[in-house]
Structure 1
Amino acid sequence: MLLLVLTTLMWSGNAVASKLAVGHVSPMVIVFLRWMIVAGLMSLIAWRELVASWDAIRPHLVSIALMAAFGFSGFNGLFYLAAHNTTAVNIGILQGSIPMIVVVGAYFLFGVRVTLVQFLGILLTLLGVFLVASQGSWQVLLNLQINPGDALMLVAALFYAGYTLALRNRPKVPALAFFAVMAFVAALVSLPMLAVEYSQETLVWPTVQGWLVIFYIALCPSFLAQIFFMRGVEMIGPNRAGVFVNLVPVFSAAMAIILLGEEFALYHGAALALVLGGIWIAEKFAWEKRLKKVEA
């Protein structure tokens, strides 16, 4: 449990880091350097597993590349771009919608049945997302005046949900070897994104603060959190471990207020309650259903 709480704290810190990076390093530079550092670290600790599993990995390189492009490079790029136009509080809450997007995607892609209670949870979560995107004003939604940063974060959430769904059919290789390949591919995929940023003359090489942010992002949310999460899942199981992910929007909002001094409006509280309430309803029902099957 301690490992999983630390994992969600590090993931939540990514939202704060994205705001601290603004003006000190550009988004695509963060993405490129982040995954280069992680790839270097993974080459040190997972090279034996990578060499041993290469024959099993090689036939799946295209699918792995797509997963890395959308789930790592694409998600991260939009995540850091969003920080230029929205708050860390908003980023954290909108990131909390990912579990429900995964439920919807599993229904359409794999035919995983959605119960009435889960559907209610999805509706509550979506209502929370709309509340954040509209800044608590229905007039904003009616006039289609959604903050560009919030819109980018929603697209990023869709990317990561797609990556999560793709994990269902990932190659049956050791987790560290798989993550190492993903990190290498993510670094390569970020090169064209870096080139676009350079061509648009928006590339900003890191200042001292920028480097500190990059090292935090590379070492904590990208490297340690992934290893902690994998170990936590091994120790208590995926079902119990998955519930801890719901702490991310809570920690993100708290850290943004404490560390960045961001305002926490009434609509943020309502949205947070809706997002977490929707996830709780869906998770609680699914957990009770699993327990009944075990008892039977």
Structure 2
Amino acid sequence: MARYIVGTNRGKGLGGPPRLRCGEIIIYKAYALLALTTLFWAGNSIAGKLAVGHASPMVLVTARWASVMVVLYVFKRGQIATDWQVIRSRLRYLLLLGALGFTVFSVALYYALIYTTAINSSILQGGMPLFVFAASFILFSSRIGVEQAVGFAFSFIGVIIIAMRGDLANLIALDVNVGDALMLVAIISYGVYTAALRSKPQMHWTSLIFTLCVGATLASLPLLAVEAVQGETMLPDMRGWAVVSYIVIFPSLLGQVFYIRAVELIGANRAGLFINLLPVWGTLLAVTILREAFHFYHAAALIMILAGISLAEYGGRKLSKHA
């Protein structure tokens, strides 16, 4: 592979812009994908909160993954057929990944939003990198550099600052409600899913997402039936359908594609760390859309989170160079 991406100014002294190495292009591309992914996912928490009282959680989950599955099949069934032999060789693994990363996470998230705020949901999702690190180490014995560990600590401190609302007494007296407990289930499931993507078979992204969505849809149907038996099913009204449309297009389709591609480019540990941006986007969206108050401790926490990401990314680059 060539070491440089060059334009029309190929030689030295031609007055053109500095040439970028292929590795730098890849990293910047991954950064952009992850920034958009976390924005879409933060919007998912806002959308889920707006859906309370307008569509039941299992209706959201089932509609979400079934819709993406159908769209991909309609427009990319030729590619899916081409990859079928690869899919079939790891079908159970891929279906399980879809159930874990898509269904379990979504069910826990949307039910959590009945009991907790959208900003709390976003803040708690900032803890995902801890579980990505742990799962990557347990499953694959992945290396973790000192800078990455310190960077994560910075980011996690930022999350704690928001969680205790700038007052240590709130942390000491913290009572975990049902919503926060469900968010813990959500972030653990997605941390394991992120690390496990490392062992996915090589195939086109549309085939991968389609298969994961099949697993997610199959896992959603029994839970939808339970919700119906309990008499808690709520079909979407106008706002509910608007929420479903956003969730299907952005967090579900574009977000998953961007995230999987970023993991391929820079690895699960480095990609997972960017989930710390969720509190940033979540806070901004909650303030803008849900009109929640923004305090000084929010600013301090967000600075810590961004500083932690920068430090951990620096450590990730050092590990990559010495690998």
- Does the pair score TM above 0.5? yes
SS in 1 for 2:44: helix
* Structure 2 runs not aligned, ≥5 long: 1-28
Instruction: Give the whole-Å Cα distance in 2 for the aligned partners of 1:149 and 1:277.
Output: 28
TM-score by length of 2: 0.79
Change in Cα spacing, 1:151 to 1:134, as seen in structure 2 (3 Å) is farther
Question: Does residue 203 of structure 1 match 2:272?
Answer: no
RMSD, aligned CA:
2.7
* 1:34 partner letter: R
For the 8 Å contact 2:166–2:297, the answer to whether it is kept is: yes
Pairing partner for 2:249 from 219, 222, 225? 219
Question: Which amino acid counterpart does residue 12 of structure 1 have in structure 2?
Answer: A
Shift of 1:23: 0.6
Q: Which has the higher contact order (CA 8 A, sep 6+)?
A: 1
Following the alignment from structure 1 to structure 2, what is the Cα–Cα distance between the partners of residues 246 and 216? 22
Query: More displaced, 189-198 or 6-15?
Result: 6-15
Aligned residue number for residue 73 of structure 1 = 103
1:282 aligns with 2:308: no
Q: Which moved more, 1:258-267 or 1:11-20?
A: 258-267
State the partner residue of 2:213.
Answer: 183
Does residue 91 (structure 1) correspond to residue 113 (structure 2)? The answer is no
Q: 2:68 and 2:92 mapped to 1: Cα distance? A: 21
Q: Distance in 2 between matches of 1:123 and 1:232?
A: 22
Q: How far is 1:53 from its partner?
A: 1.2
Aligned length: 290
1:46 partner SS: helix
Q: Which residue in the other structure is 2:17 paired with?
A: none
Tell me if structure 2 keeps the 8 A contact 1:71–1:159.
yes
2:21 matched residue in structure 1: none
CA displacement at 1:81 relative to structure 2: 1.1
> How far 1:232 moved relative to its partner?
7.3
Q: Distance in 1 between matches of 2:145 and 2:54?
A: 47
Q: Deviations over 1:104-127 (max 9, x none)?
A: 221222222223332223333444
Residues 121-270 of structure 1 aligned to structure 2 (within 5 Å): 121-136=151-166, 138-139=168-169, 141-143=171-173, 145-228=175-258, 237-238=265-266, 242=271, 246-270=276-300
Amino acid at match of 1:104: A
Among 54, 67, 82, the residue aligned to 2:84: 54
Q: 1:231 to 1:138 in 2, by over 3 A?
A: closer
Percent identity, please.
Answer: 39
Distance 1:228 1:130, change over 3 A: closer
